[in-house]
Structure 1
């Protein structure tokens, strides 16, 4: 077994023996019992000037190869969203190119694809709602022209200029009136982005929920589903039960996803999860178990991943993307640990060490020797053992 010395919280070193990778079946067909999308990260060009505030430069071959991996496991891809560093390094020109390239790849292989529509191309804070609406419309056109289905993401710019629920209803109403096909609405909580505090016109979540439901009830044929990312399982279940018939709840709860996807006698959530990026193989196997009528195996596969997910998304939660890319590097899905915007510095070494051990114990590292070698190089760079 592969062994390496890892630092403990007190700064001393102790030997750590890695376990075997999980032996998981692979699948090519999408799940039948649930719709499931992995929100995918992007792979930066390690030789480009991906410094904070600089234009994002991507390794397109590696970025698209990772999306093909997700499709090969039967998962859909949710692209150009929070996990892809929207608002934290991935600017609009790079996002637009990402949508176009991923759209072409999805069309070629028949992969399911959702893409985020936002307003982050605006320079500076808007002064009126029409600016926000036009920004949404511009991005919607790009996504629809790429052949993808749209996820209407929460907008920092709308949160800054809206004065109450009526402004949200006005902007979303105008957008939904013109979509070519039904969209997914995204409610991202302030734990993921503090700039979204009071989204939907109120800091009271009951009031905000009423506004969301009002928008959906006014346009039920134009809303495919709602992705909820509040990390509040009870609130998600309540919203799920209040949705009009035919409108899906896609869980974005990276803490409670096993129970929400499994569901109960009154229904279940589908999935659109950032944590499914590193958990893709396990998620695929768990969804296969549900297709085969084996919820106990679903639980046995997915529930042990929750400690890793909770560590990955620990506060400050917006930095979870650093852990996602770190795990992709350890697993051999990319050749380096570099991110756009210099975001690889978003987590501490102790955090990453803990993430390494949790990934190993969950069987997520397909090549333990490769993972150990890369972890060892990161530790050496930090001066550990010298």
Structure 2
């Protein structure tokens, strides 16, 4: 699959007069001409470039979501970065650049601020833009104050992407992927235990107040002393339209892989993100016991489906690192799930049907799904909320 490369296209839309520092920008899709069937010009593809751009560990793809804007469903693609003055997002669909956008962020006097770019496009504009390739290719570019470019490229699961946009056109009452997040979630009311939820996930870092969903007091060490760490239970599940062979963790992937490993993360505006598994010597050894895969077939279509569920108790939901208790900050809550899928279904069944071990292995595909709770996503169909530290 060719690398997405539309820097020249995006520069035509940029105004390099930096304004006061911003933390988030929302842009309409800039690739409308490609959606109308115009073929990308040769200079925008990587066949004409010499060396790949270096990756940036402080830049992260945040996933897709569906928003309702004036009763019209829009697809939203998001990415965030530290120390970036310009951020770009490109998504390649059906050999064309179907989604792209750019945002400008001044980092004057705020050299470590997280900045976020969201690009929206009407769902109807991308219906039918599909092919046989199992992955979407996504590239996130960033430009820092020294005019240095970096590029993070990802392979995203096309079937899950298709399920997301297809769901937005139906009247089914459940959320896409039947996503259910039990923890962290809005647990209590907004005033004196009012049963009416306040549409926020609040973590009280210093003491328990009346509107805390989670609190530092919930997590004490064996001597009943404050651990000084950020911790809460993590529990939920969702379903994908595929047979998942196994989940992929940090140890299962190369360091420069285009797949983001399975993990849970928190990301403050003023420091790098922290991930739960990455803070342990072996993310796989720590996380894998808390996951379960349930395989079944869709009752109407007969297609393979898998439910991924996780249940990490409070005493193990501890995020390492400093600066967790900066008060009155919005935190991005991130869930990432990397996996191997196989269209042949369960291996044992495939082998009994004359499929060889080699043929089955060759049919394995790797991809991932990202879900992120962002303040500006309160109207989203995935309905994930950010964490708020008080």
Asked if TM exceeds 0.5, the reply is no
The alignment's TM-score, normalised by the length of structure 2, stands at: 0.25
Q: Which structure carries more strand by proportion?
A: 2
